[in-house]
Amino acid sequence: MRAWGLPLALLMLAGCAGSPEPVAPVPVVVVPPARIDPGVLARRLMAIQPSWPSPHVDCRRAKCVALTFDDGPGDYTDHLLDLLKARHVRATFFVVGQMVAADKKHLVRRIFREGHELGNHSWSHPQLTAVADDVLRRQLRFTQRLVRQLTGVRMQIMRPPYGSTDSRVADEARRDGLAQILWSVDTLDWQDHVPAIVARRATSGRPGAIVLMHDIHRTTVEAVPKILDTFTKKGYTFVTVSELFNHPLVPGRRYSGR
């Protein structure tokens, strides 16, 4: 099993949205990302500029929805990106640092290049309220550093694993310039691996909804075409989390929908 196998196995069982039972703290081994030569980074960034511009959408007037995908990049993220690209739909990806580091395809670059938003979902997906201060700090900062090395993006949003947050997590997010993003629609796709059920739950939201999904589940990706069709027929515009709000998000503050 890979070094990150234990946190990922726990994630697959419990799901990002949490479970009725409290999540027990687990030992967290945080491995810092390797440093990349600035010249190499500059050459990479020249090759991965976003492939289409982000149109301005006033979500105070338009019917907007933000689709969000947690815990990747994973085995099905590439196909998900194909589906979104075919419709010119932008979404938000809350990535786990260890998954980014293990991804040989460097999908985080493709996510950025195709106009999606990147968010910090910790380094190894622990319950942040249950770890020590120094571990909490590294969980966010190592992922920030790695994504910036690969894409040039300084992420401005984060999602605490399991939605578990408190004043201490908020303070660290504030220090790192990260707004906390929760959700208003939980598809429970980690629990019910049935595309029709996931699609029905995802499209139950109202204008201004933030929809929680996970791109590590094949059945979730299979539900995406139906989700896009249904929202489109209802007249919705797909936006990233930051586009959903027509003002800068405040670091440390919690947001769960417009």
CATH of residue 201's domain is 3.20.20.370
- The residue whose two tokens read 């208003």 is 184
Average pLDDT over residues 185-197: 97
Residue 246 predicted with pLDDT over 50: yes
Q: Is residue 89 part of a domain?
A: yes
pLDDT confidence of residue 33: 55
pLDDT confidence of residue 2: 40
Structural domain of residue 231, as residue ranges? 61-255
Residue 52 predicted with pLDDT over 90: no
Looking at the annotation, which residues are catalytic? Answer: 70, 214
Report the distance separating Cα 150 and Cα 145, nearest Å: 9
Q: Is residue 44 part of a domain?
A: no
Number of residues that this document lists for the chain: 258
Radius of gyration of the chain (CA): 17
Q: Report pTM.
A: 0.82
pLDDT confidence of residue 56: 76
Q: Is residue 138 part of a domain?
A: yes
Tally of structural domains, the chain: 1
Beta bridge partners of 210: 66
**Omega prior to 126 cis, within 30 of 0:** no
Confidence of residue 1 (pLDDT cuts 50, 70, 90): very low
E strand spans, the chain:
64-70, 92-95, 117-120, 157-158, 179-181, 185-186, 209-214, 237-239, 254-255
Contact 112, 153 (CB under 8 A): yes
